[in-house]
Amino acid sequence: MLVIDDLNELRALVKALSRLKFDAPRDEMREIVGSPLVASVLNKAYDALIAGERAEYRDGVAGRLVDKRLIDKRGRIYRSVRQYIEESGPHWSIWTRPEREAFVRILLSPYTADDDLILELVEPDKGEEKP
């Protein structure tokens, strides 16, 4: 098993995987972005980073990491996930709502969103007026 006991290494891992997932060219990173395994690693690494900051008595840093984890519509994470969904083709429309919701959570990881924002990503036409 991999053990990372250095916070700088953990920060580097979270940053590198997050950059790959959300900032790299989409056509090159589809397997990473939608991977439940990568999502799990990122969630565990982010949780460990928060715990590590608290263990070092940096509660302010840990609190900012917790706050940063909850995304909103204005940020790049939301835009990245929305774009991925829009480019997913016919698969999205044949999935059930629970399947789409689970996949949105994979796409968002290590970040999270409130229920309304998850619903908006799962069912993008809900609440939008049609001409």
Q: Does residue 112 sit in helix, strand or coil?
A: strand
pLDDT computed for residue 38 by the predictor: 93
Tell me the three-class secondary structure of 49-78, residue by residue.
Answer: HHHHHHHCCCHHHHHHHHHHHECCCCCHHH
Q: What share of the chain is helix, strand, coil (3-state, %, to 5)?
A: 70, 0, 30
pLDDT computed for residue 126 by the predictor: 61
Q: Rounded CA gap, 100 and 97, in Å?
A: 5
Q: In the chain, what are the domain boundaries?
A: 7-122
Write out the two tokens for 46.
Answer: 């982010």
**CA-based R_g, the chain, Å:** 16
131 residues of the chain, pLDDT tens digit each: 888 989 999 999 999 999 988 888 877 777 888 899 999 999 999 999 999 999 999 999 999 999 999 998 889 999 999 988 888 878 788 999 999 999 999 999 999 999 999 999 998 766 444 44
Q: Rounded CA gap, 49 and 93, in Å?
A: 36
